[in-house]
Structure 1
Amino acid sequence: MPVQQSLATEAAVPLASGGWLSGIAKQIEHAFAPAREVIRPILSSPTVVGIWVVLVLVSVSVLWWDLRKNNQAIASLMQGVWTLVVLYSGPFGLAIYWYSGRTQISHDSLWRRGFRSTAHCYSGCGAGEVVGITLAQGILALTVGWVAAITFGFAYLFGYALTIGPLMQDGVSFKEATWDALLSETPSITIMEIFAIGTDLLLAAEAHMGDLLFWSALAFSLSIGFLVAWPVNVALVHFGVKEGMSNPAKMGSQSASGD
């Protein structure tokens, strides 16, 4: 066999078998290895995890107190969204709610609308990621490829459902609601989950459900997903692909006028 033909055949083998994709993954893993070596011991520390759990519980308590005392005008759906956001991201999630989700905000802006839109997407996709990782990696102990695929599937399913459901409640047909969800949510869900699932697998692909790293890496990866999806949602709102969630300040003023 000629040398050139032999080389071409050898090059085609990894391409056909998906070896090129594995090679890219290994390059990414190698590039982030120094950061992983720093972060993993922190996320594996019982002290750090214990402090984080306390901060999350305090943050959720503050959120519920504020919703009940000052922000009952916020729709029940968004109250649920903010609860999940704070459960996933603790003080970081509470800060986002305080900046963009309360009826007491001084004025609305593109940045606040982007935060609310990301929070809405994040609540559903985060739930899907938790279910997917727990099922595929924690319970079934599947390979990394299957874990990523199943988790992506659950993230899309939960994320779309949180958009399709409310639209259908408003009288939109299932077909139209589904099409709207595909157009408006796919970019942000995709970016969010590429980074979130990638971060989780980079840090804890070999962790088991009994390991602290399994859960702490999952929580950490969710917040990473939120951060990278926020500018995407800002752009989608800016160009009219997404409307963004309602201005909570208007809800507060309507409630006050109704009283």
Structure 2
Amino acid sequence: MDHAEHTHGGSGWRTAAQATLHCLTGCAIGEVLGMVIGTALGLHGVATVALAVALAFFFGYALTMRGMLRADLPFRRALKVALAADTVSIAVMELVDNGVMLGVPGAMEAGLSSLLFWTSLAFSLAVAFAATLPVNRWMIARGLGHAAAHQYHH
């Protein structure tokens, strides 16, 4: 039995999937918001991606911190836990997600009313989830990443 199974009382893959889904939620909120704002303002692809990444990190950390603050952790401690729990996961997710978006011809220029834009964004988030899942599994099995926040989820 590895650390994730021992610590979390279940499948390490299930725990990793839950952690990745949590990460995906924050990333998707920031990513969609950033893509919508950047596209609506007519920003260059790089500026739109930078905005989306910044918002993805913000919302990813904010979702984790919300749980920490509910567990009565002081703000600074909650921030430290969120940084430890989510930084690698969000970074991998954002690298993959934005790489896919930039790699789909015309997706970034398609506009908010385009099916190409929205299907590319949904596809990029699905690929990012698949790529981040084994990273989170590996980290949780070693007591890293999401494992740092798990004790506060009760």
The alignment of Structure 1 onto Structure 2 pairs a total of residues equal to: 140
**Of 118, 134, 154, the match for 2:55:** 154
Q: Which structure has more RCO (C-alpha within 8 Å, separation ≥ 6)?
A: 2
The runs of 4+ residues in structure 1 deviating greater than 6 Å are none
Counterpart in 1 of 2:15?
Answer: 113
| The one of 51, 60, 68 aligned to 1:167 | 68
* Contact 1:129 1:155 (8 Å CA) reproduced: yes
Matches within 5 A, 1:234-253: 234-241=137-144, 242-243=146-147
**1:12-31 pair list within 5 angstroms:** none
d(CA) in 1 for partners of 2:97, 2:32? 11
Match of 2:84 in 1: 183
Which residue in 2 is equivalent to 1:91?
Answer: none
One-letter amino acid matched to 1:161: A
1:141 corresponding residue in structure 2: 42
State the secondary structure of the residue aligned to 1:142: coil
TM-score by length of 2: 0.85
1:124 aligns with 2:26: yes
Q: SS in structure 2 opposite 1:221?
A: helix
Q: Which structure is larger by alpha-carbon Rg, 1 or 2?
A: 1
For the residue of structure 2 that corresponds to 1:205, the secondary structure is: coil
Name the residue aligned to 1:94: none
Q: Does 1:202 align with 2:109?
A: no
Gaps of 5+ in 2: 1-8
User: SS at 1:189's partner residue?
Assistant: helix
State, as a whole percentage, how many aligned pairs show the same letter: 36
- Unpaired segments of 5 or more residues in structure 1? 1-106, 252-259
Distance in 2, Cα, partners of 1:146 & 1:212: 22
Question: Structure 2: which amino acid aligns with 1:159?
Answer: G
* Deviates further, 141-150 or 236-245: 236-245
Matches within 5 A, 1:90-109: 108-109=10-11
Matched residues in 1 for 2:65 and 2:52: separation?
20
Give the whole-Å Cα distance in 2 for the aligned partners of 1:235 and 1:208: 37
1:214 maps to amino acid: F
3-state SS of the aligned residue for 2:112? coil
CA distance in 2 between counterparts of 1:142 and 1:149 reads 10
Give the match for residue 126 of structure 2.
223
Aligned residues: CA RMSD: 1.7
Deviation string, structure 1 residues 223-254 (Cα, Å, up to 9, x no partner)? 011011101111111111132769xxxx9xxx
**With structure 1 as the length reference, what TM-score do the two structures score?**
0.52
Matches within 5 A, 1:30-69: none
